[in-house]
Structure 1
């Protein structure tokens, strides 16, 4: 039996979200026990409860010796407010756990990778059940957590990898949560940002990626229409800033804010939970 704790370090989910995923898991993954923390349904302004409440829930899940993995429920915004304090309270019981999520959860994945705690993994979250094709995204996550690596993003080579939302990784730079990424291939994706904002993010981020083995670009989706065309597409932006900082641009990556978002274990680990 694989026991998976679910908490919401950023924004809340609904009980309907949790029930839909629980029903899918019960039918297709009988070897899985999902433990949804009540904090996932808390609402305090934008967040899934206060900072203190979100820290407490995350620490409780991470330090529970009966739990094999911590699955982040949803992104949005808020994990950066709690990540450093929460990680500082993790005990030895967090060390063997997989921590799975993406988007705003990248603040936690980055901090965990820097601290060498657990197994940070970019991949679908519980709230993806809402998306068109979201059931398959949830299956991909649960397959990984039960030992099936079929959902891993396929462009890996001999280099360690990380995957982040572009905004999240840019905001991590210069903070105590930013991991060292020398010799890594860095995968980034973005959603709902103007192309000029994507350009600005790459301007900042690439200045902090010295020594990386290369960059791959995931999907830049739902780009708003500006009052005037930017004139350069996302791949051209990425190529421009990579060239400016002598970072190898390695092409595309199969990650994004969508149901097709693939699994990227941080580092060299390509083996899923339980293997």
Structure 2
């Protein structure tokens, strides 16, 4: 069953910034607000911004109520998660998407926001895996922010990558699914667990031990989430950790060890994740991945 895409944004539309996970102050968000306003958007800062409950943007109920309010408000046409960190899985089961389903809007974020992307895809809705307001103005991130603007406003997006020695050649067509590897493992067996069969999976992570990356990839494989993939995009695995006795493989080599068991195309070095190059991907949208000797190309159908 095809997924539902929210309407593209138009100048004058109202968008909300919320903190479903870690806290973010209005001062930290000011530059992103200015950027969104320069796109012709009106920005609302939710009740979960500029407050703190330990690491979180308010306690679970504050964050849940704020997100619910933005979901239910018909004037809000997109919800941008200020940052990731941790916290979204703590509130996801308390959110009601029934009004949202009648009038879907874009939900944007990555990392811990993988929770929302998977939950929405399970419900049949598209969303945007992309840079978050707290990171709008990091050095070298201009292309990431521009790709998010294009995704929000319904402009054409296509990506071309140079060749990578670990790539697996071929062509795949399928809906995009994925995000943060550790969150995908966390969601397994929950109400937010999503099928990967016939889809193009994308993966990224940060600060994970190499053995843990192997353990999580093994988990994906044993639960059948690799076997029936159409294709795989391998993003940034930033700042990987190792033990005193080296693990002996890079994150890309670990992932390819599992992907190599199957025949689907694999594109390594895809610019998504916890680095300035974090281009927007539309989760749930049908795409074509082509991987050949020249490199890799991703385009929406």
Q: Same fold (TM over 0.5)?
A: yes
Q: Is 1:143 matched with 2:159?
A: no
1:102 pairs, out of 89, 103, 110, with: 110
Query: Unpaired segments of 5 or more residues in structure 1?
Result: 271-275
Cα distance, 1:153–1:172 mapped onto 2, change above 3 Å = farther
Tell me which residue corresponds to 1:169. Answer: 184
Cα distance, 1:135–1:35 mapped onto 2, change above 3 Å = farther
Deviation (angstroms), 1:50: 1.0
| Other structure's SS at 1:174 match | coil
Deviation (angstroms), 1:130: 5.5
Q: Is 1:52 matched with 2:61?
A: yes
Deviation (angstroms), 1:32: 1.2
TM-score where L is the length of structure 1: 0.87
Detail structure 1 runs of 4+ shifted over 3 Å in the superposition: 92-95, 134-140, 152-157
Q: Is 1:195 matched with 2:210?
A: yes
Tell me which residue corresponds to 2:280. Answer: 263
Q: CA RMSD in A?
A: 2.2
Count of aligned positions: 264
Q: Is 1:7 matched with 2:15?
A: no
Distance 1:216 1:136 in 2: 19
Q: How does 1:16-55 map to 2 (within 5 A)?
A: 16-26=27-37, 28-29=38-39, 31-55=40-64
1:180 pairs, out of 180, 195, 211, with: 195
| Other structure's SS at 2:134 match | helix
The question of whether the paired residues in 2 share the 8 Å contact of 1:131 and 1:258 is answered with no
Tell me which residue corresponds to 1:273. Answer: none
Per-residue CA deviation, residues 193-215 of structure 1 (Å, 9 max, x unaligned), is 12111111111122230422132
Q: Is 1:222 matched with 2:222?
A: no
TM-score where L is the length of structure 2: 0.80
- Greater Cα offset, 256-265 or 90-99: 90-99
Distance 1:51 1:184 in 2: 32
Distance 2:55 2:146 in 1: 28
Greater per-residue helix proportion: 1
The question of whether the paired residues in 2 share the 8 Å contact of 1:110 and 1:179 is answered with yes
Per-residue CA deviation, residues 52-92 of structure 1 (Å, 9 max, x unaligned), is 11110111111110111111111000100111211x35414
The question of whether the paired residues in 2 share the 8 Å contact of 1:124 and 1:140 is answered with no
Cα distance, 1:221–1:82 mapped onto 2, change above 3 Å = same
- Greater Cα offset, 153-162 or 252-261: 153-162
